Amino acid sequence: MLLGITAMTAQKNPERAENRMEKRSERIEKMDPAVLTSMHAKRMTLALDLSDKQETQVEKVLLANATKRKEIMATRKDRKELSKEEKIAQAEARMDEKIATKRAFKDILNDEQYARFEKMAYMKKRNIRERMAKTRVTRK
């Protein structure tokens, strides 16, 4: 009987993990964009060995992006309610923002830093995809 109880408590609860992720995203949404961008800029400074000038420039770009993202999230409609044209317009706007951000970082960072930045972005995207694939498998 003790072995059965131990086995039951040792199993991972996927609902609990999902709730934890939802609570984390809610906390992040409530945080001030300036605080988030400051933390993000400091992480980038450590990873890319940025100068003080580069750090302030990166922080400005990140703050502009975070502010726009917060505004968009506040006025966002449910995706099901949008027409096809609206969805396309939103996708194009997101791509334009990504291009502008990428160009800004390319101007701020030197070649070595930019290469490391690109690698970091690729790894982050890959890790997110892997986590999403893992959650899809566990949900089925």
Backbone angles phi, psi at 109, to 5 degrees: -90, 155
pLDDT at 12: 54
Q: How many domains does the chain have?
A: 1
Task: Report pLDDT for 122.
Answer: 92
Measured between alpha carbons, how far is residue 76 from residues 21, 34, 69, 93, 130 in Å?
Answer: 21, 21, 10, 14, 27
Indicate whether 4 belongs to any domain. Answer: no
Digitized pLDDT (tens) for each residue of the chain, 140 residues in all: 656 655 555 555 555 655 666 666 666 667 788 888 999 999 999 999 999 999 999 999 999 998 888 888 777 767 778 888 988 988 999 999 999 999 999 999 999 999 999 999 999 899 988 888 887 766 55
Cα separations in angstroms, 83 against 71, 73, 78, 94: 20, 18, 11, 17
User: What is the reported pLDDT for 131?
Assistant: 84
In a domain, 127, yes or no: yes
102 located within any domain: yes
Decide if 45 contacts 117 (C-beta within 8 A).
no
Instruction: Identify whether the C-beta of residue 27 lies closer than 8 Å to the C-beta of residue 5.
Output: no
pLDDT at residue 130, as a whole number = 87
Does 92 reside within a domain? yes
Q: Let me know: does 70 contact 33? Beta carbons within 8 Å.
A: yes
Assess if residue 95 is contained within a domain. Answer: yes
What is the reported pLDDT for 101? 93
The pLDDT of residue 71: 82
Residue 99 falls inside a structural domain: yes
Q: Please give the pLDDT value at position 44.
A: 92
Q: Rounded to two decimals, what is the model's pTM?
A: 0.69
Amino acid identity for residue 13 in this structure: N
Give the range of the structural domain holding residue 132, as residue numbers without chain letter: 14-139
Residue 80 is classified by DSSP as: G
Does some domain include residue 41?
Answer: yes
Residue 37 lies in a domain: yes
Amino acid, single-letter form, for residue 107: D
CB proximity list for 90: less than 8 A, separation 6 or greater: 82
Question: Contact 118/127 with Cβ under 8 angstroms?
Answer: no
